[in-house]
Amino acid sequence: APPLTPPPIDATPAAAALPSADEEEEEGATAEHPFGGLRFVSFDAEELPRLRVSQRRHQLVASAVLAQRDELLAAYQAADRGATGELPVDMWEEETRRVLRTPPMLLPPMRCFLLGRDWGGSPTVRYQAFLGRFRLAVPQLAPLLPYRDYLVLLLANLDAKRSGAVSSRQFAAACKALHSQFGAAAALCAKPEEVLAAMGMAAGRGSREGSI
């Protein structure tokens, strides 16, 4: 049999030809190649910062609801004169905004996010079910909730490489700094190993350096 001769380097198989601009779809295009397909997706890069701001606002409001569930429940029950367990949406929004001290324009765009898919645009809100959507995955860490942002800030400052990880020793130092600052209110931080255990982690789990 004659020896196989490889094609020239600049030879392009017919299957690898890129589609013309007219063939590309507005939202993206697929280029077929001998080894598979490549998907190109177009997006507006200027929209990304706005999206991050929106996500951060949602996170802050959700955290505020979680931290003030008792205050919100008391406000809802006081407004619910008939003890029906429900409030009109506008009244729910007014009480929520008053307790959380949020700007008037902030909550309306977040209704679906806060109330969940099951709400479905109903004119009333079952406030017990609403508050039930906001709960800690690890209830043992509830005492640390008011100090979460402080802890994250301390860890971020210790993470000089911006890797998203700190050493076990650094994590322990951040916890002890919180305990030193807030005393008995952050008593759980006096024992960083218990914080890690509550999160289902052991000190040093994940790498030889003991990063977290």
Provide the percentage of residues in the chain whose pLDDT is more than 90: 20
- Quickly state the pLDDT bin for 202 (edges 50, 70, 90): low
3 state DSSP class of 114: helix
pLDDT in tens, 162-171: 888 888 889 9
**pLDDT value of position 26:** 45
Provide the percentage of residues in the chain whose pLDDT is more than 70: 70
**In the structure, how many helices (H) and strands (E) does the chain have?**
8, 4
- If one compares 144 and 89, the residue with the highest pLDDT of the two is 89
Q: At a CB cut-off of 8 Å and minimum separation 6, what does 93 contact?
A: 107, 108, 111
Residue with tokens 């079910």: 129
- Is the pLDDT assigned to residue 36 strictly greater than 60? no
3 state DSSP class of 94: helix
Query: How many C-beta neighbours within 10 Å does residue 100 have?
Result: 18
